[in-house]
Amino acid sequence: MTKTCVITGASRGIGRAIAIELSKRKDIGQFILFARTEEGLKETVDLMHSSKNIDLHAIDLTNYVEVSEIMQMVGVRYGTIDILVNVAGYANPKSLLETSVEDWEKTYRINVHSVFNITKEAVKYMKRSGGQILNVASTAGSSARPGWLAYASSKAALISMSQTLSEELSEYGIRVYCISPGRCATELRKVLAPDEDPTTIMQPEHVGEVVNRLLSDDGICLDGQNIVVRKQVVKTSTPQAIK
């Protein structure tokens, strides 16, 4: 029997790259992809391995009740949920005095509360035979980022949640991983650093490869830790003439 894998934030960026990378694996047969944009989800499916059974759910993850209902349907239909990858995220970089209560709450609803909600639903099925959860936090969650208060602190919450859940869920044979990517060329990064040249930083597929490695079956003992994922991008320049 093949595994069932749920991925959020799969309509573009890092979530899409993870979906494409994991679809190359023989042991995963079913994918359930979440994001709000149906078109983006369909584009991701077109890029995934064609042999897979893929369900798309174009929904806002902060619609907690509907998301819970979908997860219950997934659990009943496939009998279990083996892998959950929480990628969806939101950033609106502002200082303390510029941040509205509404935006603070929005950041936490997407980056923290929706992860709690979908993880709780997944674990109801995953605990029957074990599984893997991987949360995408950020290096912003473990170091000071003046001007990014809501985003950075929400990612710190996700790192902490991952560490606690790693210990709490180990009795069910569930491993919880947390990765903290550095700068990666996506839409979200453009919001955080609009003037940056995206060709000079890590690409989403680099993160996809790391996630695939972590979620392999060969017992990598990196669960429960905050794993920083950074790639040095070397720009080749025209060699200077030797004088």
Ligand X SMILES: NC(=O)c1ccc[n+]([C@@H]2O[C@H](COP(=O)([O-])OP(=O)(O)OC[C@H]3O[C@@H](n4cnc5c(N)ncnc54)[C@H](OP(=O)(O)O)[C@@H]3O)[C@@H](O)[C@H]2O)c1
Chain positions contacting ligand X, by CB under 6 A? 9-15, 35-37, 40, 60-62, 87-90, 110, 136, 138, 181, 183-184, 186-189
CB nearer to ligand X: pick between 59 and 224: 59
What residues have CB less than 8 Å from 170, skipping those under 6 apart? Answer: none
Catalytic residue list contains 151: yes
- Min dist. Cβ of residue 13 to ligand X (A): 2
- The backbone torsions φ and ψ at residue 179, rounded to the nearest 5 degrees and listed phi first, read -110, 145
> Which C-beta is closer to ligand X: that of 184 or that of 215?
184
78, 90, 125, 151: the catalytic one is: 151
Quick one: 27 or 60, whose CB is closer to ligand X?
60
d(Cα 52, Cα 160) in Å, to the nearest integer? 33
CB of 120 to ligand X, least distance (A): 17
Residue identified by tokens 């170091």 is 143
E strands in 36-77: 53-58
The nearest distance, CB 88 to ligand X, in angstroms, is 4
Query: Measured from the CB atom, is 46 or 171 closer to ligand X?
Result: 46
Minimum distance, C-beta of residue 149 to ligand X, in the bound complex (Å): 14
* Residues in Cβ contact with 203 at an 8 Å cutoff, skipping those fewer than 6 apart: 17, 184, 185, 231
48 and 74 Cβ atoms separated by less than 8 Å:
no
Residues marked as catalytic? 151
